[in-house]
Amino acid sequence: MKEFELIKRYFTDQVVKRKEVTLGIGDDCALISPPQNQEIAITTDTLVSGVHFPQNTPPRAIGHKAVAVNLSDLAAMGAEPSWISIAITLPKIDETWVNEFCQGVFELCEYFNVQLIGGDTTQGPLSITVTAQGLCPEGTALKRSGATPGQWIYVTGEIGDAALALKHINNEVLVEPAFRESVIERLDYPKPRVLAGQTIRLYASAAIDISDGLIADLTHICLHSQVGANIVLDNLPLSKGMIATMGDHAAELALNGGDDYELLFVVDEANKVGMETALSQLGIAFSCIGQTNNSNKITTTLNDQAVNINTAGFEHFSE
Amino acid sequence: MKEFELIKRYFTDQVVKRKEVTLGIGDDCALISPPQNQEIAITTDTLVSGVHFPQNTPPRAIGHKAVAVNLSDLAAMGAEPSWISIAITLPKIDETWVNEFCQGVFELCEYFNVQLIGGDTTQGPLSITVTAQGLCPEGTALKRSGATPGQWIYVTGEIGDAALALKHINNEVLVEPAFRESVIERLDYPKPRVLAGQTIRLYASAAIDISDGLIADLTHICLHSQVGANIVLDNLPLSKGMIATMGDHAAELALNGGDDYELLFVVDEANKVGMETALSQLGIAFSCIGQTNNSNKITTTLNDQAVNINTAGFEHFSE
């Protein structure tokens, strides 16, 4: 099969057509006519087989995740996901594989009204790079640099389940059957917090998505905003499966594990009630897990007592 | 070394700062405030080691080429290159390698006033995906679909040298020392025809960059525009090195070889003189190599006689 036919067959037909896209897939470039008074948020993330997902991950999950991790970056800025490009490197063309991969991609695109505008298909070791773009009213995007001391630190949802799933897959722990499906779903099919991002944009001072681990990503906010932070471990939102499996080590895994794709954000006292009301009305789960401060470090407390916890974070090149 | 430090050290410092970029590298997304009445052209291309460049290619050439092939797509639309993201997958961090790679990237960015706005660094088999974006006055971008029968077909520069260099590297032919450096330069350091693209935008009906081979890319124009074409082999712009090395097979290699990154474009009789004058004044080499027609095929002539030439084109998956 010819490369061009493959691309044409699987990537050209799609449901979502956005009005800003004046030329879609099939030429040297796509063309966008950007709406006025909006900024464009742009992000790129690569997933490599064996590094960012286990080699036996279902192709539908790989397609989902490749898009989801990028939409999560858009969510962290409070942007509306709009269009994506996909560059995929495949060892060989396996039609079933490509078909299922595309299912994962397009399910998410249709759900969030995102148009695929281009891409590249090449031969080589399996990896996927997505570039995603979103729209945000001018000057309103959430940055990592907006936090000040004394603000409240929040996260959406529950954290650590994706890391727990990875430990289970690698035979480091055994997750009981009752919880297994739900934690593996968190690893394979992360849900980008797009609605939450657009909601907190009106209230939060800074935000980031938790991809490298809660502490690692909070560190980015602290460094960019020049604040310290204390995390109240009592308030960490942990799943039943996490507590049942990890016991006393649950908090440690939740703080260090990556791949959560929840949002971590910082809110001023004055915006606390408004934001909590807005998120509650939309049915979005959130927890207040600590506060920023004047120090230059991240500390943790349990029952109001300082505790030390191993917080290594996740790095690709950790020589 | 930590991944984040690597990214910070090599990719954050750069000379080019464009006014549309309201937030550069370092957050979840970059932010662009797009100028009014301009469309944004977007393209993505991946280079895989051993597929798109020989494994022993100098890192500076890899950096150059990864950016150049994308700027070439922008050139084919007549767009002004504006900002790029780079996703790079590396087997390991080798500082010398990264330093030289960045040299290749930034030389081209500075020359064309392109700002690097983001990227991703991951561990795995060497490959680079660049997403490039450019600006074009609304409604003026050149597409593949604009050709009509009876128009003139042009190419910029000389074609086939990159394919010749690859044959030399693979020991399939021997390029004489006198020509060797210049043909290998064509393979390793392709020059995207950005100025030519912006110039022909005012005159041409359709354009494409020659990445897969002249015939393969002309085929795209023919299919999109529903025209046929005849190529006059006497007029193919071939280098001295090409003629000296390939003799009677020079035209065949020039038509089928990929990686030229010259522009192929189609111009109406009424715009012929204006366009030739504009390109000549800018010192851009070009050749008129044939004409579109009403047929549904691509033919070739030599000395006004029809000739058959093997025109397979280049496909990644040619099972």
CATH number of domain containing A131? 3.30.1330.10
Selecting from A29, A50, A121 the residue whose C-beta is nearest the C-beta of B41 gives A29
Phi, psi of B7 (to 5 degrees): -60, -45
**Among B29, B3, B120, B31, residue whose Cα is nearest residue A209:** B29
Q: Of A163, A180, A306, nearest to A240 (Cα)?
A: A180
**Could you tell me if B24 and B114 are in contact, meaning their C-beta atoms sit under 8 angstroms apart?**
no
Give mean pLDDT, residues A125-144.
97
Same domain, A133 and A35: yes
State the virtual CA torsion across A101, A106, A107, A112 in degrees, nearest 10. Answer: 140
Do residues B155 and B211 both lie within one domain?
yes
CATH of the domain at A157: 3.90.650.10
Any chain A CB within 8 A of the CB of B48? Answer: yes
Mutation target for B interface from A44, A77, A219, A261: give the one with most B CBs within 10 A: A44
Residue numbers in chain B where pLDDT is lower than 70? 1-8, 310-319
Q: How far apart are CA A253 and CA A256, in angstroms?
A: 5
> Looking at B147-260, which runs of residues are DSSP E strands?
152-156, 204-209, 228-232
By the 8 A CB rule, do B162 and B242 touch?
A: no
Contact A85/B at CB under 8 A: yes
Closest residue on chain B to A122 (Cα):
B316
Whether the CB of B12 is below 8 Å from some CB of chain A: the reply is no
Q: Same structural domain for residues A185 and A227?
A: yes
Distance CA A85, CA A105 (A): 11
Q: How many domains does chain B have?
A: 2
- Strand, helix or coil at B32? strand
In terms of phi and psi (left: phi > 0; alpha: psi -120 to 50; beta: otherwise), the region of A124 is left
Which residues touch B315 (CB under 8 Å, ≥6 apart)?
Answer: A2, A3, A4, B212, B216
Task: For residue A96, count CB atoms less than 10 angstroms from its CB and return exposed for 0-12, middle for 13-18, buried for 19 or more.
Answer: exposed
Q: Which of A112, A137, A162 is the last residue before a domain boundary?
A: A137
Q: What is the pLDDT of residue A312?
A: 53
Contact of A171 with chain B, judged by CB distance below 8 Å, is answered with: no
User: Looking at the predicted structure, is the pLDDT value of residue A14 above 90?
Assistant: no
Tell me the C-alpha distance between A251 and A174, whole Å: 17
Q: Is residue B271 part of a domain?
A: yes
Residue B12 pLDDT: 75
Q: How far apart are CA B155 and CA B285, in angstroms?
A: 9
pLDDT digits (tens, 9 = 90+) for A263-277: 999 999 999 999 999
Do the domain assignments include residue A144? no
Claim to verify: residue A256 and residue A211 sit in the same structural domain: yes
Q: Is A146 on the interface with B (CB under 8 A)?
A: no
Selected residue with higher pLDDT from A227 and B312: A227
Residues of A at the annotated binding site for Mg(2+)? 28, 43-45, 73, 120, 209, 212
Q: How buried is A319 (Cβ within 10 angstroms: 0-12 exposed, 13-18 middle, 19+ buried)? A: exposed
Whether A223 and A279 map to the same domain: the answer is yes
Residue B133 and residue B156 share a domain: no
- Residue B42, in any domain of the structure: yes
Q: Which residue has the higher pLDDT, A312 or A217?
A: A217
Give residue-wise pLDDT tens across range A142-158: 999 999 999 999 999 99
Note whether A210 and A67 are same-domain residues.
no
Chain A residues inside the 8 Å CB shell of B1: 317, 319
The per-residue pLDDT of chain A, averaged, comes to 93
Q: Which of B34, B76, B125 comes nearest A28 by C-beta?
A: B76
- Residue A26 sits in which domain range? 3-137
Residue B317 lies in a domain: no
B148 shares a domain with B132: no
Question: Token pair 């990890």 is at which residue?
Answer: A246
Question: Is the per-residue pLDDT at A300 higher than 90?
Answer: yes
Q: How many Å lie between the alpha carbon of A139 and the closest alpha carbon of chain B?
A: 9
Q: Are the CB atoms for B139 and B104 separated by under 8 Å?
A: no
Asked if B107 and B190 sit in the same domain, the reply is no
- Residue A8's pLDDT is 66
Say how far apart CA B67 and CA B274 lie, in whole Å: 31
Strand order in the sheet with A298-302: A204-209, A263-267, A152-156, A286-293, A228-232, A298-302, A305-307
Predicted-complex ipTM score:
0.92
Domain boundary among A111, A137, A163: A137
